[in-house]
Amino acid sequence: MNGMPSNCPFPVDAHAHGAPCEDDGVFRLWNVGDPSVIVPENCFFSAGIHPWDAGKYDLAAFASLFDSPRCLAVGECGLDRTSEIPLPLQTKVFEAQIAESVRRGKPLLIHCVRCYPELLRLKSKLPPDAPEWVVHGFRGTKRKAFDLLDAGCVLSFGAGLLRDAGNMDYFAEIPLDRILVETDESPELFGQIVSEAAAMRLLPPSEFAAAVRANFRRIFRHDPVRT
């Protein structure tokens, strides 16, 4: 199953690729990055244009996905300095998705690689009551983490915590209500990621997972229940 202790109530994976909605006892927010995808009935998802695909899709093609009450967030979207796609084009596509998130009142799931100053500048243009920004797969320095937290962002942690735990000891200092966990491309690592994150915070995994689930409910305005 998912590697979680059996007393852990339906833990939540805030960002996942791969096969949707496999019932392994984890609620997963499935990422849809292609507007032609047919989302299975029982699946909750985020939808948007990844910065690597900026210019490939028209945001208008995602409208019916965004309309779905099962679409809980816009993204993953964002900025990536290591991509061949020119940054001005990435920025234009990202800004359109920021506007979409505001218009629809859905949070943003953000991919950001070496573009934190640009990200913070865009965030500073929004009112504090705009939908939340979740920076996914975060594994930067303490300084970057707290710059994002100070700007009001939520941080989602994944396999980077397993690979890079030695450089991420600040994880224990992040307010517990600003943390999510995710598997991204590695659904099989869910139990390990939660166990490592909980251990770094000296919490039982079930208690840590319950806190993450409460964060998910608040940020995505959806209570993950078994369907």
The residues that touch Zn ion, with contacts defined as CB under 5 A, are: 184
- Which of residues 13 and 100 has its CB atom nearest to Zn ion in the complex? 13
CB of 21 to Zn ion, least distance (A): 17
Q: Strands, DSSP E only, in 39-82? A: 45-47, 71-80
- Give 86's contacts (C-beta < 8 A, 6+ positions apart): none
- Which of residues 100 and 184 has its CB atom nearest to Zn ion in the complex? 184
CB of 17 to Zn ion, least distance (A): 6
Task: Check whether the bond before 76 is cis (ω within 30° of 0).
Answer: yes
- Which of residues 68 and 186 has its CB atom nearest to Zn ion in the complex? 186
CB of 185 to Zn ion, least distance (A): 7
Ramachandran sector of residue 86 (left: φ over 0; alpha: ψ -120 to 50; beta: rest): beta
In whole angstroms, what is the distance from residue 48 CA to residue 74 CA?
A: 5
- Which of residues 184 and 196 has its CB atom nearest to Zn ion in the complex? 184
Name the residue among 164, 183, 166 with its Cα closest to residue 3. 183
CB of 166 to Zn ion, least distance (A): 24
In whole angstroms, what is the distance from residue 225 CA to residue 227 CA?
A: 6
One-letter amino acid at 53 equals D
Under DSSP, the state recorded for 20 is: T
- Which of residues 46 and 205 has its CB atom nearest to Zn ion in the complex? 46
Residue 111 has φ and ψ, to the nearest 5°, of -105, 120
Under DSSP, the state recorded for 70 is: T
Residue 137 has φ and ψ, to the nearest 5°, of 60, 40
CB of 163 to Zn ion, least distance (A): 16
- Which of residues 52 and 146 has its CB atom nearest to Zn ion in the complex? 52
CB of 136 to Zn ion, least distance (A): 6
